[in-house]
Structure 1
């Protein structure tokens, strides 16, 4: 079982969780293919160091090894009745591919951000390629995923102080993602959550949560100081942008969450799950797609982001 890794910390967590779930279900050994991070044109880096992963990490070309023989779904045509049977199975959303060789894998590509029911039909010799941004892919092992995606490295002095402050309060994580989302290409795809979204979300949290204390995490502190000061917020300034693991640990230590349309934001809330948790999430998640029904857990409160 191989899961391809790409993107930032949040995306890599989704890819690990999906691969881990499938490996547990099929009894397979999980390999995380991090080869893409070694390519010169790649801006991202492998981000899962410091987590208790039950997987082998490969940087040495597993993505395209000479001995790998695999096909993508839908598979190429076979002759005669075999091809007709294969097309019938694919029409019923049962993935089928043709792979040969001792170490052959069938490549399973994610089709969209909706949960893909074909995932449950994947066997142990599968190469996963996708974002897998839904807890439905790993809900059966949710406790295991939370355990393995808890950051293991000891915090430095600044992070330890913030952890103590957060744990001593009825802490609400308020995540504001701007930074790269302001770039034209990212803005067209992701868009931004407005100041009004945060005002409405924080008011809702005050209605539901006793004595909330708002801890703001962001890559744009100046914007937060300008737009969120009226809510008695505290800006968490412990980490630089490249310290995502430490930042996420602080976010997950909060009891309640107001999230941005960001995979890291999603994980901060999901890892912190508790019975009385309140999570407010923005919709739509993507600018060019109005509905992503499987991305946000049904127990979370959604609110227009404009």
Structure 2
């Protein structure tokens, strides 16, 4: 049996579910460990089952304890670390890379984010089908979805919020700079006939202050537990400019326009890593 750890916000959960599907595709028995959300407040909690019609098997606490050694202070944990951990506990070694070793061994606990196309591609059709959002209920979103369908809509995503915290700036800051967005918008204007830009941001007041040009419509009403509606609306746009964020990455990947243009940053975090595995080959990557 494989147990996949789930943690982080919606975009991360979707990548982890991608691994879950990849393992099932390779005839593995797979269960999910979502206990992180009951012990640690995290964004909007575990959203996958609330938003999508997913059949996720959850590992019980006894199984999780056997694969993780249980309480970190227990004598059992010491024995587990010495003798069992190398056999059953598998943590992602290199972010954004593909590791075929996830398929090796018998009972294993898999912890990581698994942000690589090689996990997703074998399950691409299934993932696009199951990641179908609930129908819009608010008049604002219904109106905007109708408007987006009639124009060459470009969804532009800005991630601020937690990325601006001092503890996160070193890892996430400076990647999607003003220069990145200026070049991305210029590229869209040179590529798309009469583009109409829709701005999505977790700091909508900043966005409204920054984009007063009539070409840009700022979406400011999907907040809190409804923030996933921004991902849904961005996925309906014909083209996307994404941030170094899995939230807008998934919006672009779920975009079904066969002629879409997607612009992404060159890297997702400020580390010396190979990011080619997370970006589809037809996406345009620009420096910040």
User: How do 1:83-102 and structure 2 match up within 5 A?
Assistant: 98=87
Cα deviation for residue 127 of structure 1 reads: 2.6
Cα deviation for residue 268 of structure 1 reads: 0.6
Aligned to 1:130: 112
Structure 2 residue 270 is matched with structure 1 residue 287: yes
Cα deviation for residue 237 of structure 1 reads: 2.0
More helix by share: 2
Aligned to 1:53: 54
- Alignment partner for residue 149 of structure 2, among 159, 163, 167? 167
Structure 2 residue 191 is matched with structure 1 residue 208: yes
Aligned to 1:278: 261
- Alignment partner for residue 225 of structure 2, among 242, 257, 269? 242
Which whole-Å CA distance do the structure 2 matches of 1:229 and 1:148 have between them? 37
Give yes or no for contact 2:22–2:123 (8 Å, CA) kept in 1. yes
Which whole-Å CA distance do the structure 2 matches of 1:246 and 1:63 have between them? 35
After superposition, the Cα gap between the structure-2 partners of 1:273 and 1:115, relative to the gap in structure 1 and judged at 3 Å, is farther
After superposition, the Cα gap between the structure-2 partners of 1:246 and 1:62, relative to the gap in structure 1 and judged at 3 Å, is farther
Which whole-Å CA distance do the structure 2 matches of 1:114 and 1:218 have between them? 24
Aligned to 1:32: 32
- Alignment partner for residue 252 of structure 1, among 213, 235, 252? 235
Could you give the per-residue CA deviations for residues 62-102 of structure 1, whole angstroms, max 9, x where no partner exists?
Answer: 6733587799xxx9779xxxxxxxxxxxxxxxxx964xxxx
Could you give the per-residue CA deviations for residues 107-143 of structure 1, whole angstroms, max 9, x where no partner exists?
Answer: 3211111323324633674432110111221201101
User: How do 1:83-232 and structure 2 match up within 5 A?
Assistant: 98=87, 106-119=88-101, 121-122=103-104, 125-152=107-134, 154-192=136-174, 193-230=176-213, 232=215
How many equivalent pairs are there? 275
Structure 2 residue 3 is matched with structure 1 residue 2: yes
Which whole-Å CA distance do the structure 2 matches of 1:61 and 1:117 have between them? 27
Give yes or no for contact 2:231–2:247 (8 Å, CA) kept in 1. yes
Cα deviation for residue 287 of structure 1 reads: 2.1
- Residue 277 of structure 2 aligns to a residue whose secondary structure is coil
Instruction: Return the TM-score normalized by structure 2.
Output: 0.85
Give yes or no for contact 1:155–1:246 (8 Å, CA) kept in 2. no
Which whole-Å CA distance do the structure 1 matches of 2:230 and 2:98 have between them? 31
Could you give the per-residue CA deviations for residues 265-286 of structure 1, whole angstroms, max 9, x where no partner exists?
Answer: 1001001143211111112321
Q: Which moved more, 1:121-130 or 1:256-265?
A: 121-130
Instruction: Return the TM-score normalized by structure 1.
Output: 0.80
Which whole-Å CA distance do the structure 2 matches of 1:121 and 1:37 have between them? 26
Which whole-Å CA distance do the structure 1 matches of 2:217 and 2:101 have between them? 42
- Residue 221 of structure 2 aligns to a residue whose secondary structure is coil
Which whole-Å CA distance do the structure 2 matches of 1:112 and 1:251 have between them? 29
Give yes or no for contact 1:256–1:277 (8 Å, CA) kept in 2. yes
- Residue 138 of structure 1 aligns to a residue whose secondary structure is helix
